[in-house]
Amino acid sequence: MHYTRCLEPMDKTKNTKLHQLKSSVTPYRPKPSLIRSNSPKLENDKRNGLDLELLNNPEIPSVKRVRWAPMYGEKIPSTTSVCSFPLRSKQAQFDQDLSDELILANELRLAVHRGGGSIDPEKNFELRARLSPLQLPYSRVQRILKECELSERNQHTYSIPMDYGRQLVAMVCKIRTDNLPNLKLRLASLLRQNKTRFFNRHLFNETGLIEATLPSKTPLSFEEFNQTLRTDALWCKATDSAITDLGKGSVLFKCRPLDLQEVTYKLRQCNYKIINKEVGHCPNKPLVDLNDRQMARYQEFRTALLQDVDVVKIYDNVRVQ
Domain boundaries, the chain: 89-151, 155-202+285-321, 204-284
For residues 283 and 204, the answer to whether their CB atoms sit within 8 Å is: yes
Residue 46, pLDDT above cutoff 90: no
- Per-residue pLDDT band for 27 (boundaries 50, 70, 90) equals low
What is residue 130's predicted lDDT score, i.e. its pLDDT?
79
Q: Decide which of 134 and 148 is more confident.
A: 148
- How high does pLDDT run on average in the chain? 76
Could you give the count of Cα atoms lying within 13 Å of 14 in the half-sphere of its Cβ?
A: 5
What CA–CA distance (Å, rounded) separates 319 from 305?
19
Higher pLDDT, 243 or 84: 243
Predicted confidence band of residue 262 (pLDDT cuts 50, 70, 90): very high
pTM (predicted TM-score): 0.60
What distances in angstroms separate CA 38 from CA 35, 50, 184, 227, 306, one per listed residue? 10, 10, 97, 114, 93
Domains 155-202+285-321 and 204-284 share a fold: yes
Instruction: Say yes or no to pLDDT of 59 above 80.
Output: no
Share of the chain above pLDDT 70, in %: 67
Higher pLDDT, 121 or 223: 223
CATH number given to 204-284? 3.30.70.980
DSSP state of 178: S
- Three-state DSSP state, 184: helix
pLDDT for residue 33 = 61
Residue 117's pLDDT is 79
pLDDT at 218: 66
Q: pLDDT at position 34, please?
A: 54
Per-residue pLDDT of 171-218, as tens digits, reads 999 998 889 999 999 999 999 999 999 999 999 999 999 999 987 766
Q: What is the pLDDT of residue 264?
A: 93
- Top pLDDT among 300 and 9 is at 300
The residue that leads in pLDDT, 300 or 98, is 300
Please say if the pLDDT value at position 50 is more than 90. Answer: no
Q: How far apart are CA 296 and CA 190, in angstroms?
A: 16
Q: Domain 155-202+285-321 has what CATH class?
A: alpha beta
